[in-house]
Each structure stands twice: as C-alpha cells, then as structure tokens.
Amino acid sequence: MNSVERLSHDKLAEEGLYPPLEAEEAKSFPDPEKPEQVISTYFYGEHLHWDKDKAPLIVERGQDPFNDGRFKLFFLQAASGLAHFYIGYSLLVRAALARQP
C-alpha cells in the first residue's frame, strides 16, 4: 500500500513534472524505515525506556537537524496512526459492552 505522498510523487514523475526516484530510493520513499522500527527506536531509545542499542541511534540522528526532524515526524505519524486505531477499537468495545444486559 502506498501513501498519498508516494502516489502523488509517482503521478507527477509520470507526467514529467517531478524527477523520478532512483531504484534504491523508491523502495522506501517516503518512509525512511518501517513504522514498527521507528516506533520501537523512539519508545525504547528515548521516550518510555532506555535501550543500550537504540539510544545511540537517537543521539546519532540528533547530530543532523534535518534527519532528526524527519525521523521524529515519521515517528509521530506512525504513532498517531496507531492511536487512531486503538481509540476506534476502544469505542467499538465500549459500544458492545453498553449493549450487554
């Protein structure tokens, strides 16, 4: 499944309005890594827990302001997607429980 950002980029490239992605970059555009990886990195490297393997990655990303902001934004997008899912699921459970005698 492709994001809206990826679909719009592909369409613009197809129409010659934007340069096409190189093969290596096209594998992961626009997501720098899998959502579960970035969530794990920030939850276990900074926000909730401290992990000796993931904390240095957070420090390394902080050295480059662009990549730091890029990965933090990607983390927030991935985490907010999960939040929407769980909020919707909780409302479904709440409605189901309210109908029980």
Structure tokens at 74: 């990607």
Q: Where are the domains of the chain?
A: 1-30, 32-101
pLDDT tens track for 53-71: 778 888 888 899 988 888 8
Tell me the C-alpha distance between 56 and 52, whole Å: 7
Structure tokens at 40: 């794990």
Give the mean pLDDT of the chain. Answer: 81
Burial of 13 (0-12, 13-18, 19+ CB in 10 A): middle
What pTM does this model have? Answer: 0.58
Contacts of 43 (CB under 8 A, 6+ apart): 49
- Give percent above pLDDT 90 in the chain: 14
pLDDT tens track for 23-61: 777 777 777 777 778 788 888 777 666 777 778 888 888
